[in-house]
Amino acid sequence: MEAPRTNQEPVFDGSGPGNDASPADAFAVAVSALMEERGLSVRSLAKRAGVSPGHLSRVARAADGKRPSPALVLRVSKALELRDDFFLEARRAMVHRAVDMDPEFANRVYAGVAETRNEITGASARSD
């Protein structure tokens, strides 16, 4: 009998000690680590997720710059009994959908991003 899904596990953002992967490879890094930790093969995880082993293998290795779709991220999250928002890519997709649905929200998000960028870089937005 499988353990019930829980919303208590931490989310993965691709960072951590010894992790020099780019943000684009965060999913690949996390999936590989989770498969190793749980003793799963690509074939067994693919079967649980309902995807082809070849496709999952390419994404899990970030082969040829292969990036996961939001649907694949969700399938893998469910197959591993993780929160739907465990992977950074899932949270990015949620933000993207929210921004697409609400132009005012998009403006607020942009203002926050621009302010943070300016604080980090010391630059200021110019309107020429």
The model's pLDDT over 54-83, given as tens digits with 9 standing for 90+, comes to 999 998 888 887 889 999 999 999 999 999
Domain count within the chain: 1
Tell me, yes or no, whether 3 lies in a domain. no
Q: How confident is the model at residue 117 (pLDDT cuts 50, 70, 90)?
A: confident
Quote the domain boundaries for residue 30: 23-121
* Percent of the chain whose predicted confidence (pLDDT) is above 70: 77
CATH number for 30: 1.10.260.40
Tell me, yes or no, whether 57 lies in a domain. yes
Q: Quote the CA–CA distance of 29 and 110 in Å, as a whole number.
A: 29
| C-beta of residue 26 within 8 angstroms of C-beta of residue 13 | yes
User: Average model confidence (pLDDT) for the chain?
Assistant: 82
The alpha-helical segments, DSSP class H, found in 17-68 are 26-38, 42-49, 53-60
Tell me, yes or no, whether 7 lies in a domain. no
22: helix, strand or coil? coil
